[in-house]
Amino acid sequence: MPPNGKPSAVRSFGRLQDAAGAVPPTGLVLLSIGSVQLGAAIAKGLFEELGPTGTVFLRVGFAALVLLILWRPSLKGYTRRDYLVAGLFGLALAAMNMTLYLALDRIPLGVAVTLEFAGPLGVAVAGSRRLLDLVWAVLAAAGILLLAPLNILEDTNLDPVGVALALLAGCFWASYILLSARTGSAFPGGTGLVIALCVGTVALIPVGISGGGMALLDPGLLLTGFGVAMLSSAIPYSLEMEALRWLPARVFGVLMSLEPAVAALVGFVVLGERLGLRLLAAVVLVTVAAAGASRFGEEPS
């Protein structure tokens, strides 16, 4: 233990938050998005040695370990129902990441994230009877149809199983959003997230070990997996927490809707994944739909 009584990981996390305070909140959100997508690109580079399931196991496991050390949550004083909600949140988190990584093994990063965005977009417009929200839904549906590997239009060279897995990841993302809100109201701070990550890690053990095998003991792969966990979980979470202190929820949502476009850019720069005009048009349509739903979703009818 260092002289000030705090573990080095905690002090490093504190320095990250201090540095974040010097960046405008919109910049923090963009950095968060870039961090998440860079983490996904690096994770895809681990698939050959660890497989998608082994990689996601390291990501969720290391994220759980880091945040458990940072927050050291108290687990006393909660009801059985609270723990059940957090547990379901953890299962949704694990399933969301696993299906996304399985999709990334078959289709480009930008396409996978665009398809996955159907989940949160569906949550944003669900139950609405306004014509404007119908417009966002139609735009998103048009984008998703452009990504469908249908020879009726042209061959997109997209694996249909990868497309289905990305859409399934979107369904789990929608569940994640709903369960995240309930978990946040039941547990203070990051306690609920830590519980969820621990549950998700346990749930991923069978598929993670079978997918990664002995490669999970390789120090170099473990270090890279730790980096993926930091880029995809710890760093973006801290940046988003700081940004939300200053940004209205709708502005935050509009900025987060840039994820498909950023994913396509990172996929091109880091992984060399080139998207044709049709696929780029699909990314733009879904991004515009998500931005519109976030920007106008809370305005009165």
Instruction: Give 102-122 pLDDT, tens digit per residue.
Output: 999 999 888 888 888 878 777
Q: What share of the chain is helix, strand, coil (3-state, %, to 5)?
A: 80, 0, 20
Place of tokens 């009165």: 300
Tokens, residue 217? 């003991």
**Secondary structure E strands in the chain:** none
pLDDT reported for residue 253: 67
User: Could you tell me if 228 and 42 are in contact, meaning their C-beta atoms sit under 8 angstroms apart?
Assistant: yes
Euclidean distance between CA atoms 258 and 263, whole angstroms? 9
pLDDT reported for residue 127: 58
| CA dihedral over 174, 176, 182, 188, signed as positive or negative | negative
Euclidean distance between CA atoms 181 and 187, whole angstroms? 10
Lowest mean pLDDT among 4-8, 62-66, 117-121, 198-202: 4-8
187 to each of 94, 170, 183, 184, how far by Cα in Å?
A: 19, 25, 6, 5
Highest mean pLDDT, choosing among 5-19, 86-100, 287-301: 86-100
User: Could you tell me if 269 and 34 are in contact, meaning their C-beta atoms sit under 8 angstroms apart?
Assistant: no
Tokens, residue 142? 């048009």
Euclidean distance between CA atoms 167 and 105, whole angstroms? 14
- Domain residue extents for the chain: 40-296
**What are φ and ψ of residue 209, in 5° steps?**
-70, -40
DSSP H helical ranges for 117-159: 118-125, 131-147
201 to each of 62, 206, 228, 256, how far by Cα in Å?
A: 9, 10, 15, 26
pLDDT reported for residue 41: 93
**0.85 surpassed by pTM:** no
167 to each of 161, 176, 269, how far by Cα in Å?
A: 10, 14, 24
pLDDT reported for residue 24: 77
Residue 143: pLDDT band (50, 70, 90) is confident
Euclidean distance between CA atoms 107 and 182, whole angstroms? 33
Euclidean distance between CA atoms 95 and 101, whole angstroms? 10
Average pLDDT over residues 43-47: 93
